[in-house]
Amino acid sequence: GVNVFAAETDAEARRLFSSLRQAFVNLRRGRPGKLPPPGDDLDADLDPYARAMLARSLACSVVGGPETVRRGLQEFAASTGADELMVTAQIFDHAARRRSFAILADVHGQVAAAA
């Protein structure tokens, strides 16, 4: 599967993605719990080990605005040879999660047409 965090802009999508990133850091530090709300500048508080762990653990993620997500999904499908994708999005805010899936639905048609 692939994590998809879509928003109107790349910056907003990265902010939404920060919840999942923080949840992974918390889990690795022995502090599991509910999905935290998004935050800004998580990287400032991370040591090199945590950054590397996030890069490995969340490598199958596409995060961005509509065009970034379209390109990312095309690249992911091409690199894996997948003809279908299972998508997940652990987004803290329900309305933002619904909007992310709506953007994904719009982008999906463009990705499928390009395949």
**Structure confidence by residue, pLDDT tens digits, 42-71:** 788 889 999 999 999 999 999 999 999 999
Vertex 24: Cα angle to 99 and 4 (nearest 5): 25
CA distance 81 to 35: 31
Alpha carbons 90 and 111: distance in angstroms, whole number? 22
Share of the chain above pLDDT 90, in %: 80
DSSP string, 6-21: E-SSHHHHHHHHHHHH
- Of residues 89 and 112, which shows the higher confidence score? 89
The Cα 25–Cα 21 span in angstroms is 6
List helix spans (H) across the chain: 10-28, 48-57, 66-80, 94-114
Residue range of the domain that includes 69: 2-114
pLDDT of residue 114: 62
User: What's the domain count of the chain?
Assistant: 1
Pair of tokens at residue 94: 């329900």
